[in-house]
Structure formats: structure tokens, C-alpha cells
Amino acid sequence: GALWMCIVLNPHCKLEQKSSWLKQLKKWNSVDVCPWEDGNHGNELPNLTNALPQGANANQENLGQCKSLEYQHLPAHKFLEEGESYLTLAVEVALIGLGQQRIMPDGLYAQEKVCRNEEQLISKLQEIELDDTLVKIFRKQAVFLLEGGPYSGLGEVIHRESVPMHTFAKYLFTSLLPHDAELAYKTALRAMRLLVLESTAPSGDLSRPHHIASVVPNRYPRWFTLSHIESQQCELASTMLTAAKGDVRRLETVLESIQKNIHSSSHIFKLAQDAFKIATLMDSLPDITLLKVSLELGLQVFLS
């Protein structure tokens, strides 16, 4: 209503523009929630995700209806370096955006939107088959994020109320693992932290200017999506446990990370169960180290 009043009272708004706005407002009014924000109604109106494939395939619209969208490297001849394409740039921008440090917003709706948008963007990235060119981009961005300082969600020091990187790190881990296991584990282990449940940020070099931003009073902000975030943290830990089977050093490192960063007894118990199941698969001999991990996690729950 307020928007329509602004349109009606605007002396520069032409009659055909008012008619167009009225039609659009009626369309918005036909849905129960704001279509620009709700993922269930996002396809009813124009958006960037839909506009890009439509623009690229405008001359093959009928043919495109019968085929699923395929991602290809389209060369961009101007202003780009050798080997770059629209696909590589799109993937790189997505990785940069997902890895940026950002403060968790206030309110249930805004926090749910943060989680939903992250998951939707990652699902788009998962549709793309990684080749050597894209793997190089993943490696480069993972290193940049680990060394990115206060601007990176995977930096050494982050704000206590920064949006956790568990979901994004799990995607990075599974993507990098076949190509660079050391970098994959380093990225995932860095992302395991959940400082919002800590009394203060971890100690470090207080002389570093950006460290001051991460030291805040002992208070627990209202994170309505905390249960979902802790579940994603547990999923990341379980993924690392599965991948580390047979590697004593990495299993011990993952165990230490779980004991340090996961605070939910139910999630620790679930990880103990996962470790036991992975260690006793029928097609192989029991993994003694994984069984020890399962035992230690179980004892931690029992003693807590």
C-alpha cells in the first residue's frame, strides 16, 4: 500500500508505468510471503539466476526446454587473462562470496535467509563438474581464505558472532579432497570452530589490530538457527572422520577438533556412533584407531 501511494503521488511516473507497477503489485499480492525473499516463490518472478540462462539461450529457447542446463567454459576475449571464462569467473566469485566473514544478522527470518541462501548457492555449484581449471581456482581461493585475515570467514581470527563456515567448508572439503587432501583438511579443521558458544574468542597475539574485534564480553546472542548450525558442524566432522579412515594422524587431529569445538552432547554421541559404524564396515577389518575415536567420544558424553 505504501509503495503504491509513492507511485501514485510521483509526478514523474507515467501512466503506463503506473499500470505496469499495479500489475506487478497485484502479482506480489497473490502470494502469502514476499516473493523476492522466499525461496519457495523465487521462480515466480524474474531473478538473476533465471535471467542468465534465458539471455544466453534466447535463440534456442524451444530446444533448451527439452535439455537440462549444461555449464560450459565460454571464452571472454576482452579484459580477461588467458584461460579465463565466464564459468571460471562465476565460480570464483561464488567462492569469494561464500567465504567472506560477515556478522550473523538479528531476527529469525534474516538468520534463516542466511542459511538458505548459502545452501542454494552451494547447490548451484554442485551442479558444475570440476575440471583441472576449476580445481586450480578452488585451491587458490582456499589458500586466500585461510590467509585472508579479518575479511575471511576462514581467517585465523574471526569475530565471535561471525556466520559459521561449516556448510561451505564441507563443500570445499569434498571438492578438494581428491586433489589436495592436506589443503582440504586444513580448510575443514579451521571451519570447525563455533565461537558464539565460547566465553571469549581464542587467545592469540593481542598486538594484532584485528584481534581486538574478536574479543567481546561473555554473552550469548540470540541465534535462532543455532540447532541447524550445530547440525552442520556435526556433518562436517562426520565427513572428515569418514575420509580419514586408516590415517592415524588425521583421525587424531579430527578427534581433537571435535573435542575442542563441539559442545552438544547429542552431536558428540552421534559422532561416536558414526565412527563405530565406519570402523566396523562388513567389507573390511575393523579400524582400531576409529574404534578408539568412538570410545573416546562416548566417554566424553558419559563424563559430561
Mark which of 169, 196, 225 sits at the end of a domain. Answer: 225
Cell numbers linked to 199: 566465553
Q: Looking at the 3D structure of the chain, how many domains does it have?
A: 2
Q: Which of 230, 236, 232 is nearest to 264 (CA)?
A: 230
Domain carrying residue 142: 86-225
Q: How confident is the model at residue 199 (pLDDT cuts 50, 70, 90)?
A: low
Q: What is the pLDDT of residue 79?
A: 60
In whole angstroms, give the CA distance from residue 170 to residue 176. Answer: 10
Same domain, 130 and 195: yes
Q: How confident is the model at residue 9 (pLDDT cuts 50, 70, 90)?
A: low
Residue 14 has pLDDT above 60, yes or no: yes
Residue 216 has pLDDT above 50, yes or no: no
Same domain, 174 and 266: no
Q: Based on the number of CB atoms within 10 Å of its own CB, is 137 exposed (0-12), middle (13-18) or buried (19 or more)?
A: middle
HSE (side-chain half, CA atoms, 13 Å) at 114:
26
Same domain, 140 and 262: no
Q: What is the pLDDT of residue 191?
A: 97
Residue 68 lies in a domain: no
Q: How confident is the model at residue 42 (pLDDT cuts 50, 70, 90)?
A: very low
DSSP-derived letter for residue 121 is H
Residue 41 lies in a domain: no
Torsion (CA) 131, 136, 138, 144 in degrees, nearest 10: -170
Same domain, 158 and 97: yes
Same domain, 142 and 203: yes
Average pLDDT over all residues of the chain:
81
pLDDT digits (tens, 9 = 90+) for 55-83: 444 444 544 444 555 666 666 556 666 77
Same domain, 167 and 263: no
Mark which of 192, 225, 258 sits at the end of a domain. Answer: 225
Same domain, 292 and 256: yes
Residue 192 lies in a domain: yes
Residue 46 lies in a domain: no
Same domain, 210 and 105: yes
Same domain, 159 and 252: no
Cβ neighbour number for residue 58 with a 10 Å cutoff: 9
Residue 45 lies in a domain: no
Residue 39 has pLDDT above 90, yes or no: no
pLDDT digits (tens, 9 = 90+) for 267-297: 999 999 999 999 998 677 888 999 999 999 9
Residue 274 lies in a domain: yes
Q: What is the pLDDT of residue 18?
A: 72
Residue 142 lies in a domain: yes
One-letter amino acid for residue 290 of the chain: L
Residue 58 lies in a domain: no
Same domain, 194 and 114: yes
Residue 207 has pLDDT above 60, yes or no: no
In whole angstroms, give the CA distance from residue 72 to residue 55. Answer: 15
One-letter amino acid for residue 161 of the chain: E
Same domain, 217 and 91: yes
pLDDT digits (tens, 9 = 90+) for 117-172: 999 999 999 999 999 999 999 999 999 999 988 889 999 999 999 999 999 999 99
Mark which of 225, 257, 273 sits at the end of a domain. Answer: 225
Q: Which of 119, 107, 101 is nearest to 160 (CA)?
A: 101
Kind plus residue range of the DSSP H or E element containing 53? helix 48-56
Same domain, 176 and 109: yes
Cell numbers linked to 46: 524474474
Residue 5 has pLDDT above 80, yes or no: no
